[in-house]
Structure 1
Amino acid sequence: MMTPFRKMHGLGNDFVVLDARHAALPIGPEVARAIGDRHRGIGCDQIIILEPPGEGADVFMRIRNPDGSEAGACGNATRCVASLIAAETGSRDVVVRTISGDLPSHLHADGTVTVLMGVPRTGWHEVPLAQALDTLHLPLQRGPLADPAACSMGNPHATFFVPDLSRIGLGVLGPLLETDPIFPERANIGVVQVLARDRLRLVVWERGAGLTLACGSGACAALVNAVRRDLADRAADVELPGGTLRVEWRPDGQVAMTGPVATAYLGTLDLAALRAA
């Protein structure tokens, strides 16, 4: 039996979106790896499975990385899913539930979506780290990258600040830093160049996915860690390879992220054939 899917992206951070709200889909780690393979599957940064939400939310969003692991948060995918549910319900306000919590979202008239990504967690055990350390200055270095700040935005992030982003080979350093023993659950690695107090430039190595054109939770973590180091104001544009997100760390502690969504195409896939392969 063929299963329909939707290929979506937020600033080039791309997703295969599958609807399991009415019938369960057998998408474990092996099938997720097959779907995410850019050569033999469809290819994506994450596989997104829509599931029944339970009371108090409009949809449950399950996130699989292309290595088969499960992720707790994805800001760009949340915007995509919120836009789909808003189109279904006719409401501009949507609550997307994840394993890391509920994410209230709002669809604007111009098609952009704002997601409240939650309150950043900065305790060493909340990131989490392998031991009690100051999350504002971690004793971690690989090549030219050193002294990151860390926080959790529903998933662990480490943010390095550099004077010139163009000189950093994150494709080489990213996998080494993602899997450093200091991060027991691995980590997303962000590298930031501060252009102004209201403008940051960011590149992210996503755990389980690799280099990505955009990372919503990474953009939120970048602003939070920049503010914690007094390098930025509490609202800024975050430039990523795929485009720009607007991020604001609000007075109530919530981090709001705003950006566009797009559907690339619709298709069908054969889950049985993927499992067999």
Structure 2
Amino acid sequence: MGGWKYSKQRLQRHPFVAKVVRAKKVICICGVVIKLNRKYDEDYINHHANGPGCKRNEQKSILCFFNPTTTDKKDDDDVNSDDDWNDWKSEVEDAMDDNDIITVDENEDGINEKENANIEIINPATNQTGRKRKPCLGLRSDLIAKYVDRTPACYGGARRVEIIAKEIYPGKFPHKFTRKKLKPFQKRALNRKIYAESQWRVDKDCIAVRAKECTGYSDSGKTICNECYLLKYNPILAHRLTIPKPAPENLKFTPKFYFENNSLKKHLQNQDLHEIWSVIKDNYDTSIWITLADKATNGAFKEKP
């Protein structure tokens, strides 16, 4: 019975669920997309439906007014459900948007996976006080810290995205690959394949690199798990660590990662700070100090942005 409680079939019969998008995402009958705390758990949809944010008022599902669309294209017959792929990890699902592809530090052609490598890391000293399970620290070093800061990718070690996409959908990209040609469920299928080929995960919170199979704990009596320790000898990762960070003048475009992780983006939502930033950036004739004094006199900085 435990399996039935957290199952897709049970969630599909929920009176307030219009559609089960993925294992951890549903659409309420009021049209709001709800992200669940665990796969097929009803708690968050119940909380939403019983709160003031739900506008259902006994209305019919919004999907009742649309006819299901069908297609006879061969490449559209791919997996359209997370249930059909047992290794589909929830953290990958959480990291991606419905209309996006997960970022990956791609493996370059010509890298021999049989080459010897020995990445220098912080010494994983054995825990002398006991062999109980300890948190895994992942691979850490100054070089790895620079790599984590440089790359916008979430995963690494997979082949180039366009190569994988052309293998899955050979008739969709006769010339150049473009993600605009992929439907949301096709992007999810592509994400699964990218994840399956990935060999490591970039942990930006801990400034470390972890094996894809790392659970976050070490049972070996060391500060890192066996999976992460084996990653120390990965020649592909060793090669990626040697690539320097490009100079700002050599960047053809700025990845979205750098905007999303820039605290200035949050502060510029404040109109007063946005005006001051414009004065500095555009070199207006107006003195920045006069502008600051005027804003301060009017109480613009009494509250945080």
- TM-score, length-scaled by structure 1: 0.22
- TM-score, length-scaled by structure 2: 0.21
Looking at both structures, which has the greater relative contact order when contacts are Cα pairs under 8 Å and sequence separation is at least 6? 1
Bigger share in helix: 2
Which has the greater radius of gyration?
Answer: 2
